[in-house]
Amino acid sequence: MDQFDDILNQDLDPTETREWVESLNAVINHDGTERAHFLLERMVDSTRRAGGYLPFDPTTEYLNTIPPHMEARSPGDAAIEWRIRSLIRWNALATVVRANRKPGDLGGHISSFASSATLYDVGFNHFWRAPSADHPGDLVFHQGHSAPGVYARSFLEGRLGEDQMDLFRMEVAGKGRGLSSYPHPYLMPDYWQVPTVSMGLGPIQAIYQAQFWKYLEHRGLIPKSDRKIWCFMGDGESDEPESLGAISLAGREGLDNLIFVINCNLQRLDGPVRGNGKIIQELEGVFRGAGWNAIKVVWGSYWDPLIARDTTGKLRQLMMETVDGEYQACKAFGGAYTREKFFGKYPETAALVANMSDDDIWRLNRGGHDPHKVYAAYHAAVNTTGMPTVILAKTVKGYGMGAAGESQNPAHNQKKMDADAVRAFRDRFNIPVPDDKLDDVPYYHPGKDSEEVQYMLERRRALGGSLPQRRRKADQSFKAPTLESFEQITKGTGDREISTTMALVRGMNLMLRDKELGPRLVPIVADEARTFGMEGMFRQIGIYAPFGQKYRPQDADQLLYYREDQKGQVLQEGISEAGGMSAWLAAGTSYSISNVAMLPFFIYYSMFGFQRIGDLCWAAGDMRARGFLIGGTSGRTTLNGEGLQHEDGHSHLLSGAIPNVVSYDPTFSYELAVILQDGTRRMMQEQEDVYYYITVMNENYAHPDLPKGSEEGIVKGMYLFKDGVKAKKNEPRVQLMGSGTILREVIAAAELLEKDFGVTSDIWSVPSFSEVRREGFDAERWNRLHPESPQRVPYVTGLLADRQGPAIAATDYVREFADQIRAFMPDGMRYTVLGTDGFGRSDTRANLRSHFEVDRYWIAHAALAALAKDGKVNAKDVSRAIKEYKLDMDKPNPMSV
């Protein structure tokens, strides 16, 4: 207890105190707890106005939030549910232990599900509704390490057979039937809905899914319902910044469709979470401070009589004083230890258990293992309105594993169990496996007609069907706009200069006009919508605000004023790229989770995308998300004033590593139009499980018309932008390639080469080096596997096969970006790559391009150097270029400065 508590305990007038308490109890009995709460708030307010210091305490006593007399009672059959839970525990253990007796050390986790089995069992039996004709279905974010327990339930339900259970973590050998280590929708597309490992990504995704459901309801795209999102996480997982970083959003927007269940087994992977403190108390304060309804499920029913007999308050005091490290030791070392080290601290608490045996003390259960306490908490959560709920359930890690891992630090790594440990587990949960079969750790199924299985199936029928289950496609597809509908950006701009960012926004506005597709667009920005030229959307479609706009905006008299609306279409998520990406994920998976296909556009500084939120980008691939990610102010030389932390030169390498991401770096507005149209066709019309990454720039320049017949090449990633004049035989010729803003430097370099050195250039626009690379390696693989069949020619090889001279590629990205296609250069064609290797910095665009050696002069020089190596020009020509173009031969390599 701190000093303030000591002062409060020095009661100056116990009689007066008793009278106040009796008066308060009378109010509660006559008018209810809400009236009592109101009076207490008025008293606190009066005290503070009088100058009294009343410190705010966001936590309550270390007791269950719901007192026994207010607990909703489960309508289920407790005995059958215990048997079901025991069978699931056994089969989950068998799944992991059997896998790890095979060669190869497959790994797996036992302890996490052992601690949370009751939390899942109550949800599956009584609360989690599957999508059906009568209900849109709830969404459950399962804690990743608990996957074996979910498989074990599906095994009893008949959804998985023994042969498939034995394919746990054997997805290659399983040939599509293997069970993934954790929830992975990409690998099990009919089963898992959301990936929850890496840790921390589940909670932030759950929050933005809940927000997006409200968004869909307010916009009239789905009917209002009582569907819920349940997110399971560990108490150690709360240390991840993504786990708690967005909880204030849920409180601020009153997301009462969201329920967090935190499995507080008091242990991280390798030891206690808050060994010197109390994680449940800490989390209660954090969530309550963020506007959540916090329900603590600390003690099981066996504690109720002890707490009721605690007339001195010493037991409650002891519960508050004891830190988590001590609670862990009590469960690890048994009843006698707990009697001495816990209850023995005070005579009053020792007396409370004097008539109990050591076994009785050891059986005092934690709340997360008591289905009655858990049911009451879940019931209160689903009936809470106006705010999200967090349930803090105290459990034991490795529950039921005894000496093999119960409440022990190494429990996370427990993957194998010896014969004695398996026997003890069987006996504790009364599993009917005979001794002579025990060494095999067999799965146990009581039969499809057994009381247990029929009970499970009946409960799931009442709740709409089996879970988990995933929808692969939405019922409704949307026809993509024709390319002709993008005429505003496929036509050249003449003398008018615009950026590709402006072209993108125009393209989005054209799509918004489509009566069918338009309402399905979801523009998303973390912040700086005006930077990206999106302010026109403020008035046109509004910014989503769940409670509407309650103020008159400062710029209300302007044409493009800041307009918030409950039916607004733009999601502006504040300065949080992780939040923006999570909102994008919610929209991009809406086709599966809500049967409502949406097309999100998340626009952000490209440097703060795949680099900063790469784990969420990877999860998007796993979730089979669909939509456009837009990397604004891309490249290392276009955002000229911002410097090292802002200038992106490598995001395309990161995006290209995700198999179902299609990446483009367009230069001209017509390229962007073709990409938008084709991406919309693939994602909204064909419902392909891909998403697009497009980099755009804030540099203004004139844009030409769409060249006739270039559409296919743009989509494939490379096309001939300009065919050089027909040169005489043996006259020097080069193949110049580029993308994004540096393609314009490539075009200018071709003019220099022709004017100053008589070199002819063919100019190639390569909107996607990444797509060209993928196609090339696909062809190369096919050729290796089909040596006697006609060999495929990689796309880029075919384009350059009949072209003369060396090839030079330059981009606003590191050299590795354009170097991806080196393997597919025609035999004998020299390939030189220029790029922006090194840290970014602030300066003018011209100076930056000179510094990184990607401007027109360096490109022309590289072309001449390659021609000299081919014997088409001499070294003096290269030296003349260095002199005429004022290239500093002694400047340091930009990679090293």
Q: What share of the chain is helix, strand, coil (3-state, %, to 5)?
A: 45, 10, 45
Measure the CA–CA gap between 704 and 490, rounded to whole angstroms.
8
Q: Give Cβ neighbours of residue 677 (< 8 Å, ≥ 6 apart).
A: 480, 481, 482, 483, 486
DSSP E strand boundaries for 589-717: 599-605, 628-632, 661-664, 691-695
Measure the CA–CA gap between 856 and 754, rounded to whole angstroms.
13
Mean pLDDT in residue range 306-322:
95
| Closest CA relative to residue 666, chosen from 630, 623, 695 | 695
Instruction: Identify which has the larger pLDDT, 414 or 338.
Output: 338
DSSP E strand boundaries for 386-436: 389-394
Instruction: Count CB neighbours of 183 within 10 A.
Output: 26
Q: Identify whether the C-beta of residue 340 lies closer than 8 Å to the C-beta of residue 358.
A: no
| Closest CA relative to residue 146, chosen from 400, 408, 412 | 412
pLDDT band (50, 70, 90) for residue 51: confident
Residue 8 has pLDDT above 60, yes or no: no
Tokens linked to 376: 């009451």
Give 244: exposed, middle or buried? Use CB within 10 Å, 0-12, 13-18, 19+.
buried
| Closest CA relative to residue 203, chosen from 585, 652, 600, 511 | 585
Strands 661-664 and 691-695: parallel
Lowest mean pLDDT across 116-130, 395-409, 529-543 = 395-409
CA of 200: how far to CAs of 234, 242, 245, 371, 747, in Å? 9, 5, 10, 26, 47
- What pLDDT, on a 0 to 100 scale, did the predictor assign at position 414? 53
- The CA-based dihedral angle spanning residues 621, 656, 675, 580, taken in that order and rounded to the nearest 10 degrees: 50
Q: Identify whether the C-beta of residue 810 lies closer than 8 Å to the C-beta of residue 738.
A: yes
Residue 618 has pLDDT above 90, yes or no: yes
| Closest CA relative to residue 111, chosen from 226, 270, 254 | 270
Strands 733-738 and 719-722: unpaired
pLDDT band (50, 70, 90) for residue 3: very low
Mean pLDDT in residue range 509-517:
96
Backbone angles phi, psi at 733, to 5 degrees: -145, 145
Residue 270 has pLDDT above 90, yes or no: no
pLDDT band (50, 70, 90) for residue 415: low
pLDDT band (50, 70, 90) for residue 827: very high
Mean pLDDT in residue range 581-602:
98
Q: Give Cβ neighbours of residue 865 (< 8 Å, ≥ 6 apart).
A: 832, 878
As beta bridge partners, residue 498 has 701
Measure the CA–CA gap between 639 and 399, rounded to whole angstroms.
55
Measure the CA–CA gap between 46 and 648, rounded to whole angstroms.
56
- The number of helix segments (H) and strand segments (E) in the chain equals 37, 18
DSSP state of 555: T
In three-state secondary structure terms, 813 is coil
Residue-wise DSSP of 570-595: BEE--S-HHHHHHHHHHHHTHHHHTS
| Closest CA relative to residue 463, chosen from 734, 135, 761 | 135
Residue 442 has pLDDT above 90, yes or no: yes
Residue 9 has pLDDT above 60, yes or no: no
Q: Identify whether the C-beta of residue 389 lies closer than 8 Å to the C-beta of residue 313.
A: no
Length of the chain: 897
Residue 749 has pLDDT above 60, yes or no: yes
User: Packing angle between helix 78-99 and helix 371-382, nearest 10 degrees?
Assistant: 100
Measure the CA–CA gap between 409 and 403, rounded to whole angstroms.
12
Instruction: Identify which has the larger pLDDT, 104 or 450.
Output: 450
Report residue 826 CA to chain centroid gap: 42
Measure the CA–CA gap between 410 and 413, rounded to whole angstroms.
6
Mean pLDDT in residue range 610-619:
96
Residues 144-201: tens digit of each pLDDT: 999 999 999 999 999 999 999 999 999 999 888 999 999 999 999 999 999 998 899 9
Tokens linked to 148: 């074996």
Instruction: Identify which has the larger pLDDT, 180 or 555.
Output: 180
- What pLDDT, on a 0 to 100 scale, did the predictor assign at position 202? 96
Tokens linked to 619: 């999860």
- What pLDDT, on a 0 to 100 scale, did the predictor assign at position 408? 57
| Predicted TM-score of the model (pTM) | 0.94
Residues 373-411: tens digit of each pLDDT: 999 999 999 999 999 999 999 999 888 776 655 655 554
Measure the CA–CA gap between 864 and 434, rounded to whole angstroms.
82
Measure the CA–CA gap between 119 and 263, rounded to whole angstroms.
8
Residue 641 has pLDDT above 80, yes or no: no
Measure the CA–CA gap between 670 and 490, rounded to whole angstroms.
4
Q: Identify whether the C-beta of residue 148 lies closer than 8 Å to the C-beta of residue 158.
A: no
User: What proportion of the chain, given as a percentage, has pLDDT over 90?
Assistant: 82
Backbone angles phi, psi at 635, to 5 degrees: 85, 160
Tokens linked to 598: 């949406």
| Closest CA relative to residue 61, chosen from 300, 329, 315 | 315
- What pLDDT, on a 0 to 100 scale, did the predictor assign at position 7? 41
Measure the CA–CA gap between 34 and 306, rounded to whole angstroms.
28
| Closest CA relative to residue 150, chosen from 104, 203, 102, 192 | 192
Q: Identify whether the C-beta of residue 718 lies closer than 8 Å to the C-beta of residue 739.
A: no
Buried b (16+ CB within 10 A) or exposed e, 254-276: bbbbbbbbbbbbbbbbeebbbbe
Measure the CA–CA gap between 362 and 399, rounded to whole angstroms.
13
User: What proportion of the chain, given as a percentage, has pLDDT over 70?
Assistant: 97
User: Packing angle between helix 147-157 and helix 451-462, nearest 10 degrees?
Assistant: 100
As beta bridge partners, residue 720 has 764
- What pLDDT, on a 0 to 100 scale, did the predictor assign at position 1? 38
Mean pLDDT in residue range 867-879:
96
| Closest CA relative to residue 211, chosen from 574, 683, 606 | 574
Mean pLDDT in residue range 755-779:
97
Q: Identify the helix (H) or strand (E) that includes residue 737.
A: strand 733-738
Q: Identify the helix (H) or strand (E) that includes residue 233.
A: strand 229-234
Q: Identify whether the C-beta of residue 411 lies closer than 8 Å to the C-beta of residue 398.
A: yes
Give 701: exposed, middle or buried? Use CB within 10 Å, 0-12, 13-18, 19+.
middle
Report residue 274 CA to chain centroid gap: 26
Instruction: Count CB neighbours of 781 within 10 A.
Output: 11
Mean pLDDT in residue range 536-550:
90
Q: Identify whether the C-beta of residue 556 lies closer than 8 Å to the C-beta of residue 578.
A: no
Q: Identify whether the C-beta of residue 392 lies closer than 8 Å to the C-beta of residue 98.
A: no
| Closest CA relative to residue 680, chosen from 739, 628, 728 | 628
Measure the CA–CA gap between 417 and 101, rounded to whole angstroms.
10
The radius of gyration computed from the CA coordinates of the chain, to the nearest angstrom, equals 33
